[in-house]
Structure 1
Amino acid sequence: MLSRLKNVALFTLLSGLFIILILQSCAQMANPPGGKKDTLAPKISESIPLNKSRNFKGKKIELTFNEYVGIRNLSQELLITPSVGTYQTKIRPQGLSILLDSTLKDNTTYTFNFRNAIEDASERNVGKNIKLVFSTSNDIDSLQIKGNVKQLLTQKHPENILVALYPWNDSLSIHTTKPYYFVKTDTSGNYLLENLAKGKYYMAAFNDINNNLLYNSNKESVDFISDKYIDLSKNQEQHFAISLQNQDSLKLSKTTASAKTVLYEFNRGIKSLVLQNTPKAQLYFQQEDNKNLRFYVLNQNSTDTIFVQATMTDSLDRKYQIPLKIKFRELAKKEKIQKLDLNFEVRPGPGKLLSPSDSLQIKFTKPVQQWASTGILFKTEEGEIHSLPDQAFQWNQFQNSLTIKNAYLPSRTKFELSINKNAFVGVEADSSQAYMQKMEWQDVENYGSIDGQITSQRPTNHFIVELIKADTFEPYMTVKTSKRFEFIHVEPGLYQIRVIADLNNNGYWDIGNFKLRKKSEPVYFFEGKIKLKANFQISDLLINTQK
């Protein structure tokens, strides 16, 4: 009897669990099959104050949306103009509250632009153009400035570039003053400043990398109006072309000494360098990464201190007199200096064909103190062996790059470059190994050419015309001209043409100076890309610099 009761109890328990599982399955929430996906973005259903309200004096802003929402990167996405100072936020399932820490200004129109901060909770549809505009007076300011921002040197239209408007005064500087009105560009580089008050303003656009609303010249690209101010009384358009305009002075930032070298690292690029007060023994050095100098211990006692004066010209053509105290670290007792081969590379490299205008370059990892031109030979398929006269060779300032001039290279279609062992000896008594590279001239018919002219109304015309590879945006060929340009022996490919207006005729592009409100030298592009085929000539391209 007891066993029977146990079986009945077990059966009852199992039946109860089965029924509970069925009920849970029936009660489970699920999307109806075949239902439409939610593609609608959230919208404001209620707000305090109401949009376009007047005479609002409160310190609490509240927004309620028509569905459950998520708030994303509010501190970065929310743009409030003019600035309200600090504030606190409280997130709710269908909205948010903003509690201001200070009182709103009188007679001011405020815009709260939420950009991409609001999205619905289910499908993450981002709310578009969610703004709240209100005034603390009887009137709402309604003036606008719109336009586009591009990168000067690439013509690309960047996103999230800060476009800033400042109440004008003579002492205004964008690196110390935060804007009164501001907005950021969209994915096409477009911007729209709305609800602006009448008045005189200064205007700039820059890539505010650290989001502090202040321009940092050594990191952030910029452009600005060249006029003193904008007298805003009606809607306007202003377009900007930003570029990096680093104005930092040239300074020595770090010195690293070893038993073999002393490395000086500077904070910006060095265009040219001359040393004074150098010792009688030749002082070998080279420039690295455009802005660093490395000196070598050759012919110097490591215990000696050498004092030299360096006259340096930076990338802005500013000259500096910088004293250098060169002292090599003494070699430790157990420290051994490892002797390595003197390495180099030949350009064009292995497998690359020579164009009709190419010279050969031999680039070394360090300066060369000795070499023999007779150790460089050219062998043809016909069994001819040629050495070249001294005038065929040209060293650069640092003795680490040797050019073999085009006019002295063999005219045979194919030949071999042969460099004997120990043909070059470096400053650390390291010698080069034997080297051989097969070379071949490219058939002229495998190249194309591009030519055209520049239209300009400037009284003096000096231009730098660059043929740029469209895929990498690297300059491929450069010519300097007053009007017409021609690129010959151009490899087939896709190209763009960039023109720099060389206003001061110094042969390179000059950046602007935001402190002097002097803009960078203008840059223009031929509209569209150019597809060049082998044995093909593209002629009479017209590039307009009058825009």
Structure 2
Amino acid sequence: MGGPRDEEPPKLLSINPGNESINIKPNIIELEFDEYVQVENANKQIIITPRIKKEEMEVVANRNKITIKLNQELEDSTTYVFNFQKTIKDITEKNTPENLKLVFSTGPEIDSLKFSGNVAYIFPLREPKIKDVFVGLYEVSDTTDVLTAPPYYIAATDSIGNFTLTNIKAGKYKAYAWHDANNSLKAEEKQEAYAFIKDTITITEDIEGTQFYLSKADLSEFKVTRSSAIGSNFDVVLSKYPVAIEIEHDQINKGLYYRQNDKTLRFYHTDLINDSTAITLHLRDSVGFQVDTLIYAKFEESDRKKEVLETAIEGKRNFVDKLRTELKFNKPIGKIQYDSLFFKYDSATIVPIQKEWIFLKDSADLTKLIIEWHVPDSINNETFNFFAADSTFYDIENQTNEKKVESAYKRLKKETLAEEIQVKVNTTHLPIIVQILNSKEELIAEQYITDSNQAVFTYIEAGTYNIRAILDLNKNGRWDTSNMKEGRHAEPVYYLENINDNNSRETTIRGGWVLDLMIEPKKAAGLPQENREDDDTKPVKEPENEKNIVDN
């Protein structure tokens, strides 16, 4: 009250030891300001390189002075940098001094080497500004890494991902970047995205232009944590979610069935009672770790009530020529009653669904059905309904859906749609996954191209989209994250960017348009001299085509 709001940050009057002092090993650092100050989260907010034991450090504010007691011996012939970030604030409006740093050396010289570049997310976030992202260097002799301990040298990125580590001693290092949401100065592998440079970095001169791409990669052990009979079924519980499942058994989908629910595989057997059978599992997690194991599943007679069959409808609710219904069940499906399964339009016209219209994406997984109907041009209606009465679907335990299942679909007019979208990817690497996503990041269209670098999409609704290309380096039909233990970067993802709109990733598509678009590769991960695209691949089984369902 009584005056304008204080918007001026505290001004540093003196600092001891002086900035860029040499041949000193202080135990106490003192800063004096022109007004009363306070400190917040000093042991977390103050970035000190090289690494010291910050838990032993004491930071005290007294009026206009800050006193730091290090309480430890510093290394010989080493340049230390104290970056105070937003630790020190005035006590009235919490204004923070900008770029407040202290540099000194315990030897005769100030190390002056720099390591700089950029950090980006491989899948961009909705919030364009990057925050809580750090880059760190570990000495090559250090047995720790970004997942186990803070680095030797560390720096925060700015809001667009640029970083500079300064005052580095010449030597060999390992380099990492990570999102540090909990301010632990290391990455939590199950929650936080991180990246790495594959090779040892020799720093004898300034290095500029290094590129990191952040993605989550859980490197914890992939294993079977528990297996046991559950009622008349048998559960196998895994430590992580499997992205690929292959089951070897001579009765798969003939007497033995399974379903996946997050990290649990549940097996069913329609014939075997009070006996066991050997099942071979080949499982792969998101970082490429493999589990190949033999389990003995016992199926016991049980009075336990069987799980109720539940049905959900997935996928898009509009179409052009082909009406596609995607059904997801909580249990494997064994039989369908076709006389209560149909599409309908008008108030009374029905079209019975034929057996040949029903498909499986995966011949071993009977929990997902796809129904496709090529709607004749002679039908002029815009609105259609899928309908399945109760007791239409029977699971392999002979349970049926207790409620009817229905959903409405809208037929789009071709004149309101973009006629053709040609998307070229400026790379020689094949295969490529080309995707069109809406503003909610929902997948609208996708093509897997193997013979050329061009995908062609027809009849796309007017709207604003993101268009991207994923280089499928290991040819397994999906994007794969990094694996630091194997020295493998995440597969590159390129976005279509509008250079006339501040490199915006949004692409506007209007009805009647024919577009010819080019996606340019982004800067390769790693040091500037590394090749543009990685070649580390691991052959895996090609994804299976959709199969016809065969009733029991």
Tell me which interval the TM-score lies in, with the shorter structure as reference length.
0.7 to 0.9
Q: In 1, distance between residues paired with 2:398 and 2:73?
A: 74
1:450 aligns with 2:417: no
Aligned partner (choices 370, 382, 387) of residue 335 of structure 2: 370
Q: In 2, distance between residues paired with 1:434 and 1:518?
A: 48
Structure in which a larger fraction of residues adopt helix: 1
1:73 aligns with 2:41: yes
The answer to whether the Cα contact below 8 Å between 1:494 and 1:529 also exists between their aligned partners in 2 is no
TM-score (structure 1 length as normaliser): 0.82
The letter for the 1-side match of 2:521 is T
Do the aligned partners of residues 83 and 118 (structure 1) sit closer, same or farther apart at CA in structure 2, a change above 3 Å counting?
same
Aligned partner (choices 345, 368, 371) of residue 312 of structure 2: 345
Map 1:217-228; keep pairs closer than 5 Å.
217-228=189-200
1:509 aligns with 2:479: yes
Q: Which region of structure 1 is more displaced relative to structure 2, 128-137 or 138-147?
A: 138-147
Do the aligned partners of residues 199 and 400 (structure 1) sit closer, same or farther apart at CA in structure 2, a change above 3 Å counting?
closer
Aligned partner (choices 16, 19, 22) of residue 51 of structure 1: 19
The 3-state SS of whatever aligns with 1:394 is strand
The answer to whether the Cα contact below 8 Å between 1:277 and 1:307 also exists between their aligned partners in 2 is no
Provide, for residues 252-311 of structure 1, a one-character-per-residue CA deviation record: whole Å limited to 9, x for no partner: 23457543544433222321221326599712321123x32123465454x545543323
Provide, for residues 53-85 of structure 1, a one-character-per-residue CA deviation record: whole Å limited to 9, x for no partner: 222222111122211112111121011111232
* Structure 1 match to 2:433: 464
* Structure 2 match to 1:94: 64
Aligned partner (choices 93, 96, 101) of residue 123 of structure 1: 93
The answer to whether the Cα contact below 8 Å between 1:348 and 1:354 also exists between their aligned partners in 2 is no
Q: In 2, distance between residues paired with 1:339 and 1:226?
A: 48
The answer to whether the Cα contact below 8 Å between 1:151 and 1:157 also exists between their aligned partners in 2 is no
Q: Which region of structure 1 is more displaced relative to structure 2, 427-436 or 196-205?
A: 427-436
* Structure 1 match to 2:255: 282
Provide, for residues 139-193 of structure 1, a one-character-per-residue CA deviation record: whole Å limited to 9, x for no partner: 2222222322110122755322220113335978554565221112233323221
Map 1:421-460; keep pairs closer than 5 Å.
421-432=390-401, 433-448=403-418, 449-456=420-427, 458=428, 460=429
* Structure 2 match to 1:181: 153
Q: In 2, distance between residues paired with 1:543 and 1:132?
A: 45
Map 1:373-384; keep pairs closer than 5 Å.
373-381=338-346
Aligned partner (choices 211, 225, 234) of residue 206 of structure 2: 234
Q: In 1, distance between residues paired with 2:315 and 2:213?
A: 36
The letter for the 2-side match of 1:47 is I
The answer to whether the Cα contact below 8 Å between 1:392 and 1:408 also exists between their aligned partners in 2 is no
**By how many angstroms is 1:440 displaced?**
3.9
Map 1:83-482; keep pairs closer than 5 Å.
83-85=51-53, 86-154=56-124, 158-168=130-140, 174-175=146-147, 178-208=150-180, 211-234=183-206, 236-255=208-227, 258-259=230-231, 261-270=233-242, 271-276=244-249, 282-289=255-262, 291-296=263-268, 298-301=270-273, 303-327=274-298, 337=305, 340=308, 342-347=309-314, 352-381=317-346, 385-395=350-360, 396=362, 397-407=364-374, 412-414=379-381, 415-432=384-401, 433-448=403-418, 449-456=420-427, 458=428, 460-469=429-438, 471-481=439-449, 482=452
The 3-state SS of whatever aligns with 1:75 is helix
**By how many angstroms is 1:545 displaced?**
1.8
Q: In 2, distance between residues paired with 1:281 and 1:536?
A: 49
Do the aligned partners of residues 257 and 72 (structure 1) sit closer, same or farther apart at CA in structure 2, a change above 3 Å counting?
farther
The answer to whether the Cα contact below 8 Å between 1:465 and 1:499 also exists between their aligned partners in 2 is yes
The letter for the 1-side match of 2:20 is K
The answer to whether the Cα contact below 8 Å between 1:207 and 1:222 also exists between their aligned partners in 2 is yes
Q: In 1, distance between residues paired with 2:252 and 2:111?
A: 71
Ranges in structure 2 where 5+ consecutive residues have no aligned partner: 498-503, 524-552
The answer to whether the Cα contact below 8 Å between 1:253 and 1:267 also exists between their aligned partners in 2 is yes
Do the aligned partners of residues 308 and 506 (structure 1) sit closer, same or farther apart at CA in structure 2, a change above 3 Å counting?
closer
Q: In 2, distance between residues paired with 1:367 and 1:413?
A: 36
Provide, for residues 320-377 of structure 1, a one-character-per-residue CA deviation record: whole Å limited to 9, x for no partner: 2223344568757xxx73885x33233457xx43333442222223222222233323
Do the aligned partners of residues 113 and 330 (structure 1) sit closer, same or farther apart at CA in structure 2, a change above 3 Å counting?
farther
The 3-state SS of whatever aligns with 2:31 is strand
Q: In 2, distance between residues paired with 1:490 and 1:534?
A: 9
The letter for the 2-side match of 1:77 is Q
Do the aligned partners of residues 230 and 366 (structure 1) sit closer, same or farther apart at CA in structure 2, a change above 3 Å counting?
same
The answer to whether the Cα contact below 8 Å between 2:461 and 2:511 also exists between their aligned partners in 1 is no
Provide, for residues 173-214 of structure 1, a one-character-per-residue CA deviation record: whole Å limited to 9, x for no partner: 554565221112233323221222233333221234555545
* Structure 2 match to 1:26: none
The 3-state SS of whatever aligns with 1:374 is helix
Provide, for residues 102-142 of structure 1, a one-character-per-residue CA deviation record: whole Å limited to 9, x for no partner: 22222111111111111110111122211111112232222
* Structure 2 match to 1:27: none
The answer to whether the Cα contact below 8 Å between 2:248 and 2:280 also exists between their aligned partners in 1 is yes
The answer to whether the Cα contact below 8 Å between 2:288 and 2:483 also exists between their aligned partners in 1 is no
Q: CA RMSD in A?
A: 3.1
TM-score (structure 2 length as normaliser): 0.81
* Structure 1 match to 2:513: 537
Do the aligned partners of residues 237 and 312 (structure 1) sit closer, same or farther apart at CA in structure 2, a change above 3 Å counting?
closer
Ranges in structure 1 where 5+ consecutive residues have no aligned partner: 1-30
